[in-house]
Amino acid sequence: MNTKKVYVLCPKGLKTGGPELLHQLVFTINRLNSGSKAYLTYTSETSGETPVEAFHEYIVDSVIEQSQIEDSYNNIIIFPETNLNLMHKFKNAKKYIWWLSVDNFLIMSKLSTFSGYRKERGILRAVKHALIGDLYDTNIAIESADKHLCQSVYAINYVKNLGISDDKIEYLADYINDLYVKNSSEYAKRNKISRVLYNPKKGKEFTQKLIDMAPESIKWVPLINLSNEQVADYLSSSKLYIDFGNHPGMDRFPREAATCGCCVITDKRGSAKFKEDVNIPDQYKFEDKEENIPAILKQIEYCLANYDVATKDFENYRSIIKGQKSRFTEDVKKIFGE
């Protein structure tokens, strides 16, 4: 029997959780050696960018061009939800959509039709994309998929609401970088600085309101343009991480923070609304409304003043996170190892 080939489409040059997970899937399938061979294929619209150096460990000798994809009935092509425009190019291979970010899909779907592209980007660019065949019907693309892989319960809920039947849905989440789990015991022993960490790329407006209304005694530190090692150093030496941005999938930052020993406070957007995706106690989740700011600040002050007690509230979350890599491996084996 011919070896089943799995082609994973991926944007090039983006150092975010989604692209890292796409690289991790290729690595895991090939490491299992279970009858499938996986390849990473960078999508054409980002072909001018440089692959991310941090991801090279996952894909040695596993990168091919789109033109090299064998469109055979025995093979599978994985389309991130932002690349549904490429699905129509393949007629024979099984097509799996991997829902890594529901929110990114909602943004990209606005650019899927001529009228939508014209409204968002202008008539000239709409005409250009129509001529190169880059526009598509999202409903047809979604209905044509053989499987829907979901990185979060938030995504499962969204896909079910689209009318996709349970037999076409598979849970395939992810795991955080080994750096965090491997060193978690050492991180727990570090002295914690009484400061609040946040990602300035997410929920900037509401976070700024918190900062403006907070006592001057609270120290706020944005995490931006840092290596994995630098992020781990900040997280493991601080008491609290907050995230009041959107949660398009099961985000990595809250998990990395908790694993490094931080307490975690989030909003209730996207995946954060689902206990299965962000498994922290209810008193650490708030709707990002102005009337909730006093309560949020009170909880922030509680974490900073009572860290030794508050941090114990996250032990179950940390335990779940540490088991995610082994679950990911089992799920990959179940989906691709047949």
Q: What is the pLDDT of residues 131-183, one digit of tens each?
A: 556 655 778 888 999 999 999 999 999 999 999 999 999 999 999 988 899 99
Mean pLDDT of the chain: 88
Query: What pLDDT is recorded for position 229?
Result: 87
Q: Answer whether 108's CB lies under 8 Å from 43's CB.
A: no
Instruction: Using DSSP bridges, classify how beta strands 169-171 and 147-150 pair: parallel, antiparallel or unpaired.
Output: parallel
Q: Please name the residue that has the structure tokens 């909003």.
A: 267
How much of the chain, in percent, has pLDDT values that exceed 90? 66
- Model pLDDT for residues 189-218, shown as the tens digit of each residue: 899 999 999 999 888 999 999 999 999 999
| The domains spanning 4-175+324-336 and 178-322 adopt the same CATH topology | yes
Domain boundaries, the chain: 4-175+324-336, 178-322
Tokens of 12: 């090039």
Q: Answer whether 321's CB lies under 8 Å from 255's CB.
A: yes
- Model pLDDT for residues 310-328, shown as the tens digit of each residue: 999 999 999 999 999 999 9
Q: Answer whether 251's CB lies under 8 Å from 271's CB.
A: yes
List the Cα angle 259/278/38 in 5-degree steps: 80
- For 4-175+324-336, CATH number out of 3.90.320, 3.40.1350, 1.10.287, 3.40.50 equals 3.40.50
List helix spans (H) across the chain.
17-32, 102-108, 114-121, 123-131, 138-144, 153-161, 178-182, 184-189, 204-213, 228-236, 252-259, 293-305, 307-310, 315-322, 324-336
What's domain 178-322's architecture?
3-Layer(aba) Sandwich (3.40)
Query: What DSSP character marks residue 295?
Result: H
> 225-239, 291-305, 324-338: which has the highest mean pLDDT?
291-305
